[in-house]
Amino acid sequence: MRTKGRLDGKVAIITGAGSGIGRATAVLFAREGAKLVMADIRDEALEETLRLVKAEGCDAIGEKTDVSVEEQVKALIGLALETYSRVDILCNNAGISGSLAGIEDQDAGEWKQVFQVNVMGAVFGIKHVARHMQERRCGAIVNTSSVAGIRSGAGGNAYSASKAALINFTRTAACDLGGYNVRVNAVCPGLIETHMTKPIFDYAREKGKEGKLGSRCELRRYGTPEEVAAAILFLASDEASYITGQALPVDGGNTASLNLPGMKV
Ligand code: NAP
């Protein structure tokens, strides 16, 4: 017999659920008893996550959604309410990395696209779920930001700026919604092996330098999607009932130190 799950009876929306951190979060939430409404821009990837969570006995649906398009996000939340009559948790996790172009080669169109997905995707999600959560006077929202939003050196210019914007939007949304008992927090992952970071991992492995990946972290290693999912679960669960407006690094201690080259054994 299954023991009581930490999300029993809750309905959670997860964006970017087709891959990496979003998929790991979906599987963990499924194990903890949530009903899931999962979204991703990639149809087939979403189907695979749907298969995985259903194998956990989860009641779930998947809907192809581009979070950069407000009407699609609104429709996703409408679908969740139509299907399950409530939304307890929203994970704004979908994101794109953009390029690593030098400062002199910045492209305005790319900046707009990175902000449209990484920032506006979360804005649209919170905007369209807010009234429902306000009326019920409960809800937990977790945005996936990044260590790139705290320090430089972990992504391109537009990506880092978008993740910093997402951290501050997390705070302002938490202030707007706190009076309704709706909590808004963010996780800030460090280097995690996912589809997004595959080129970094492929390159390092090709050069025989896999051991160097994550070596500047205090824990001397990179992280897994499951380790980020565990932090998202905590912030989404009632265990975090007095935590709001916070951005939690999940980074092996990376942002805890000055990280000066040559200072580590
Ligand atoms: P991932 O494996 O690429 O998963 C992200 C998923 O979101 C992909 O399926 C992606 O599809 C999808 N997506 C992209 N744009 C979308 C859109 N407009 N609407 C809906 N879905 C969209 O990457 P991940 O590493 O798990 O990333 C999840 C989140 O963690 C992102 O916000 C990312 O910035 C953040 N993060 C990751 C790391 C890391 O080291 N991996 C570190 C810090 C923060 P496509 O593959 O087609 O883009």
Residue type, 248: L
Query: Is any atom of ligand 1 closer than 6 Å to the C-beta of 93?
Result: yes
Which one is catalytic: 84, 159, 180, 203? 159
* Residue 107, domain CATH: 3.40.50.720
Query: Is any atom of ligand 1 closer than 6 Å to the C-beta of 65?
Result: yes
Tell me how many domains the chain contains.
1
Answer left, alpha or beta for residue 152, where phi above 0 means left and psi between -120 and 50 means alpha: beta
Domain membership of residue 262 (yes or no) is: no
The pLDDT of residue 154: 84
CB under 8 Å to 25, separation ≥6 — which residues?
14, 17, 91, 93, 225, 228, 229, 232, 233
- Model confidence pTM above 0.95: yes
Domain membership of residue 2 (yes or no) is: no
- CA 196–ligand 1 middle distance (angstroms): 6
The pLDDT of residue 216: 85
pLDDT (tens, 9 = 90+) of the chain, 265 residues, equals 667 899 999 999 999 999 999 999 999 999 999 999 999 999 999 999 999 999 999 999 999 999 999 999 999 999 999 999 999 999 999 999 999 999 999 999 999 999 999 999 999 999 999 999 999 999 999 999 999 999 988 889 999 999 999 999 999 999 999 999 999 999 999 999 999 999 999 999 999 999 899 998 999 999 999 999 999 999 999 999 999 999 999 999 999 988 777 666 5
Chain-centroid distance, C-alpha 224:
13
Domain membership of residue 5 (yes or no) is: no
Closest ligand 1 atom number to CA of residue 69: 18
Domain membership of residue 197 (yes or no) is: yes
The pLDDT of residue 1: 61
Domain membership of residue 91 (yes or no) is: yes
Range(s) of the domain holding residue 16: 11-252
Identify whether 159 is a catalytic site residue.
yes
Domain membership of residue 1 (yes or no) is: no
Nearest alpha carbon, ligand 1 atom 19: 66
The pLDDT of residue 96: 98
Domain membership of residue 52 (yes or no) is: yes
The pLDDT of residue 51: 98
Query: Is any atom of ligand 1 closer than 6 Å to the C-beta of 117?
Result: yes
Domain membership of residue 25 (yes or no) is: yes
The pLDDT of residue 259: 74
Query: Is any atom of ligand 1 closer than 6 Å to the C-beta of 76?
Result: no
